[in-house]
A and B are shown apart, each in its own frame.
Chain A
Amino acid sequence: MTKPVTRTLAPQPGLPTASWHDRKGLVQIGLLALLLLAPLAAYFLGHVYYVNLASRMTLVAMAAVGLNLAIGYGGMVSFGHAAYFGLGGYVAGISAYHAFDLTPVIGWPLAIPGSDSMLVIWLAAIVLCGLLALVIGAISLRTTGVYFIMITLAFAQMIYYFANSWPTYGGEDGLPIYLRNSLPWVDTGNALNFFLICFAGLVLSLALVSRIMKSRFGAALTMARLNDTRLATAGIAPYPIRLVAFVISAMITGLAGALYADLNGFVSPTMLSWHMSGELMVIVILGGVGRLYGPLAGAILFVLMETLLGGLTEYWKLFLGLVLLLVVLFAKYGVMGWLAGRERHE
Chain B
Amino acid sequence: MTLLIEQLINGLQLGTMLFLMASGLTLIFGVMGLINLAHGSFYMVGAYATALVSATTGSFLVGLAAGIAVAAAVGALVELIVIRRLYHRPHLDQVLATFALILIFSEGTRWLFGSSPLWLNPPAALSGSVTLPGGLRYPIYRLVIIAVGIAVAVGMYLLISRTRLGMRIRAGESDREMIGALGVNIARLYTLVFAMGAALAGLAGAMVGALQSVQVGMGEPVLILAFVVIVIGGIGSIKGALYGAILVGVVDTLGRIFLPAFFRHFMSPSEAAGVGSAIAAMLIYVLMAVILAFKPKGLFAAHD
Contacts and interface: CB of A to CB of B under 8 A. Distances in A.
Contact of A329 (B85, B227, B282): B85
Interface residues of A, number: 44
Contacts of B277: 165
Interface in A134-171: 139, 142-147, 149-151, 153-155, 157-158, 161-162, 164-168
Contacts of B281: 158, 161-162, 164-165
B224 A154 contact: yes
Interface size on B, as a range, is: 35 or more
A321 B91 contact: no
B224 A157 contact: yes
Nearest to A329: B85
A168 B96 contact: no
Contacts of A79: 95
B278 A274 contact: no
Interface in A3-19: none
B292 A155 contact: no
Interface string B60-95: 000000000000000000000010010000111101
Contacts, number: 128
B304 interface: yes
B96 A151 contact: no
B118 interface: no
Contacts of B82: 325, 329
B288 A151 contact: yes
A96 interface: no
Nearest to B108: A318
Contacts of A143: 292, 296-297
A85 B169 CA distance: 41
> Which of B101, B106, B224 has the most chain A CB atoms closer than 10 A to its own CB?
B224
A158 B285 contact: yes
The binding surface of chain A is classed by DSSP as: helix
Given A162-B282, A325-B100, A329-B85, A318 B95 contact: no
Interface in B1-48: 29, 35
Contacts of B103: 317-318, 320-321, 324
A147 B289 contact: no
B111 interface: yes
A317 B227 contact: no
A147 B95 contact: no
A261 interface: no
A129 interface: no
Nearest to A319: B107
Given A155-B289, A161-B281, A278-B99, A142 B91 contact: no
Give 5 nearest A-B pairs by CB, closest first.
A321-B103, A158-B285, A161-B281, A318-B107, A321-B104
Interface of A: 1, 71, 77, 79, 139, 142-147, 149-151, 153-155, 157-158, 161-162, 164-168, 274, 278, 281-282, 285, 289, 315-318, 320-322, 324-325, 328-329, 332
8 contacts: A142-B293, A157-B224, A285-B96, A315-B110, A321-B101, A324-B99, A328-B100, A332-B93
Interface of B: 29, 35, 82, 85, 90-93, 95-97, 99-104, 106-108, 110-111, 220, 224, 227-228, 230-231, 235, 274-275, 277-282, 285-286, 288-289, 292-293, 296-298, 304
